[in-house]
């Protein structure tokens, strides 16, 4: 007959084997722990002698392990309590600092509000001193603004602000000082707007006299601008927005003037040859001379006639050692026959920057500077540029004579 296995016998046997395995592992762990404890805390025996009697005291491994565990637990509890106390102290300090900052902010705001409510005269005096400082700072950078300037497109709000001051003094006498300061600010902004318009118009006229279009100059400068859009508050008084526009136009025109050759390129004895048709000094016969020749001693400095970027340094046929400066708007100045070149390619120069020395290299009969102004690679007469009395926004100082620096 075939033996049958009782249902459930196999699972019960597996459980029994697993339990036996765990029991053996636990017994081995206990044996290993007991061995470690015995090695760490061996049984110790002490004896004490008293009145002729000797008593032996034995400290077992279990007792030593219990004492060590208790001491370890006490150390852990002490470290935990100390850490929690430090954390609590740090949080309390942060809360106190935050509370003090809030109290200081509230006290500052309340003091300012109280000051405005109780002492508007003092506030008006403070604002008046600030306005005095602003006006002196602007006039120090530019020059004293004339009292009479062309009105142009700027408004004149003097009558309107005077009426406002009178009305406020009747309705709210304590705010009269503030109203007067506001009237001063508006009057100063309008005067500065008229000044900027006057200077921009003068610069525009000077640019036209040398054959350039001021709008083209401004448009070309605008193509080299950029940056993030940061709008000014939409409630700003339109008169101040108008001031910003006028100052921007004046700055653009001044920048355009700085890039037009108006500075004498050398200290010279005299102009030895003019622009246009002349008798060729070497071969004779009629020839076209595309610039001006400034006679001077060999080695005398040569200067940039306007702001720009050095676009060429080297030797050109007929010109010898030569430097060219690009001023934008298709305008280039050329300086030829140099004995020595100081400028380097790509250098940014301003009016009066030394770029070389007078010489007689190339097709030349003696030491001199050959100076050209070229517009869209076409030579034009440099005289109108050098002789034009260009206006200057920050300073007016037109000198006469051969060493005049109009730039």
CATH number, position 371: 2.70.70.10
Give yes or no: residues 142 and 251 share one domain: yes
In a domain, 265, yes or no: no
At 53 the three-state DSSP class reads strand
Give yes or no: residues 149 and 247 share one domain: yes
In a domain, 394, yes or no: no
CB under 8 A, 24+ apart: contacts of 340-343: 340/299, 341/313, 341/314, 343/304, 343/310, 343/313
In a domain, 346, yes or no: yes
Please give the Cα distance from 337 to 212 (Å, whole number). 28
Q: Which of 213-217, 222-226, 262-266 has the lowest mean pLDDT?
A: 222-226
Mean pLDDT confidence for 13-29:
76
**Percent of the chain whose pLDDT exceeds 70:** 73
Whose structure tokens read 């032996």? 56
Please give the Cα distance from 125 to 170 (Å, whole number). 20
Q: Given a cut of 70, is residue 402 above it in pLDDT?
A: no
Output the CA–CA distances (angstroms, integers) from residue 28 to 21, 35, 249, in the order listed.
11, 10, 95
Give yes or no: residues 383 and 328 share one domain: yes
pLDDT-derived band at 371 (thresholds 50, 70, 90) equals very high
Give yes or no: residues 274 and 355 share one domain: yes
Domain limits for position 281: 270-387
pLDDT-derived band at 403 (thresholds 50, 70, 90) equals very low
CB under 8 A, 24+ apart: contacts of 127-135: 127/178, 127/181, 128/177, 128/180, 128/181, 128/184, 131/181, 131/184, 131/185, 131/188, 134/188, 135/188
In a domain, 336, yes or no: yes
Give yes or no: residues 103 and 161 share one domain: no
Output the CA torsion sign for 37, 38, 39, 41.
Answer: positive
Please give the Cα distance from 153 to 254 (Å, whole number). 20
Q: Given a cut of 80, is residue 398 above it in pLDDT?
A: no
In a domain, 49, yes or no: yes
Considering its fold, how many domains does the chain have in total?
A: 3
Q: Which of 223-232, 272-281, 298-307, 362-371 has the lowest mean pLDDT?
A: 223-232
Question: Average pLDDT, whole number, for the chain?
Answer: 77
Give yes or no: residues 142 and 254 share one domain: yes
Give yes or no: residues 378 and 281 share one domain: yes
Mean pLDDT confidence for 314-337:
93
Give yes or no: residues 280 and 362 share one domain: yes
Give yes or no: residues 315 and 366 share one domain: yes
Please give the Cα distance from 185 to 275 (Å, whole number). 52
In a domain, 193, yes or no: yes
Whose structure tokens read 């002789």? 387
pTM: predicted TM-score of the whole model, two decimal places: 0.53
Give yes or no: residues 179 and 71 share one domain: no
Mean pLDDT confidence for 279-289:
89
Render pLDDT for 327-364 as a digit per residue (tens, 0 to 9). Answer: 887 889 999 999 999 999 999 999 999 999 999 999 99
Please give the Cα distance from 212 to 312 (Å, whole number). 24
In a domain, 73, yes or no: yes
In a domain, 10, yes or no: no
Q: Which residues pair with 372 in a beta bridge?
A: 334
pLDDT-derived band at 72 (thresholds 50, 70, 90) equals confident
Mean pLDDT confidence for 126-134:
75
Q: Given a cut of 60, is residue 393 above it in pLDDT?
A: no
Q: Which of 34-43, 270-279, 351-360 has the lowest mean pLDDT?
A: 34-43
Give yes or no: residues 155 and 199 share one domain: yes
Give yes or no: residues 250 and 144 share one domain: yes
Which carries the bigger pLDDT value, residue 350 or residue 149? 350
Please give the Cα distance from 307 to 380 (Å, whole number). 18
Mean pLDDT confidence for 53-81:
76
């Amino acid at each position: 007959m075939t033996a049958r296995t009782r249902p459930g016998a196999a699972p019960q046997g597996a459980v029994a084997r697993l339990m036996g395995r765990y029991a053996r592992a636990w017994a081995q762990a206990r044996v290993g722990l007991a061995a470690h404890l015995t090695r760490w805390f061996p049984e110790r025996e002490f004896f004490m002698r008293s009145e002729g009697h000797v008593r032996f005291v034995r400290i077992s491994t279990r007792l030593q392990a219990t004492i060590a565990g208790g001491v370890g637990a006490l150390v852990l509890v002490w470290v935990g309590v100390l850490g929690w106390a430090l954390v609590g102290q740090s949080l309390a300090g942060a809360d106190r600092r935050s509370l003090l900052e809030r109290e200081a902010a509230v006290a500052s705001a309340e003091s300012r509000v109280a000051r405005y409510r109780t002492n508007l005269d003092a506030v008006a005096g403070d604002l008046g001193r600030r306005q005095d400082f602003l006006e002196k700072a602007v006039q120090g950078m530019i020059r004293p603004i004339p009292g009479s300037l062309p009105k142009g497109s700027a408004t004149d709000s003097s009558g309107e602000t005077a009426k406002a001051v009178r009305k406020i003094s009747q309705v709210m006498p304590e705010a009269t000082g503030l109203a007067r300061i506001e009237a001063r600010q508006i009057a100063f902004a309008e005067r500065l707007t008229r000044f900027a318009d006057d200077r921009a118009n003068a610069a525009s006229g000077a640019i036209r006299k040398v054959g350039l279009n001021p709008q083209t100059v401004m448009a070309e400068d605008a193509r080299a601008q950029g940056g993030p859009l940061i709008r000014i508050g939409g409630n700003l008084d339109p008169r101040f927005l108008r001031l910003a526009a006028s100052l921007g136009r004046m700055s653009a025109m001044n920048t355009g003037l700085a890039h037009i050759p108006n500075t004498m390129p050398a200290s010279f004895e005299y102009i030895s040859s003019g622009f246009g048709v002349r008798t060729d000094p070497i071969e004779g016969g009629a020839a076209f001379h595309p610039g001006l020749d400034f006679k001077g001693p060999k080695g005398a400095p040569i200067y940039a006639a306007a702001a720009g970027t050095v676009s060429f340094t080297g030797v050109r046929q007929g010109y010898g050692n030569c430097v060219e400066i690009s001023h934008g708007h298709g305008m280039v100045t050329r300086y030829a026959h140099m004995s020595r070149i100081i400028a380097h390619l790509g250098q940014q120069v301003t009016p009066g920057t030394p770029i070389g020395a007078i010489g007689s290299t190339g097709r030349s009969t003696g030491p001199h500077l050959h100076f050209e102004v070229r517009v869209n690679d076409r030579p034009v007469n440099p005289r109108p540029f050098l002789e034009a009395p260009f206006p200057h926004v920050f300073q007016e100082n037109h000198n006469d004579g051969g060493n005049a620096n109009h730039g």
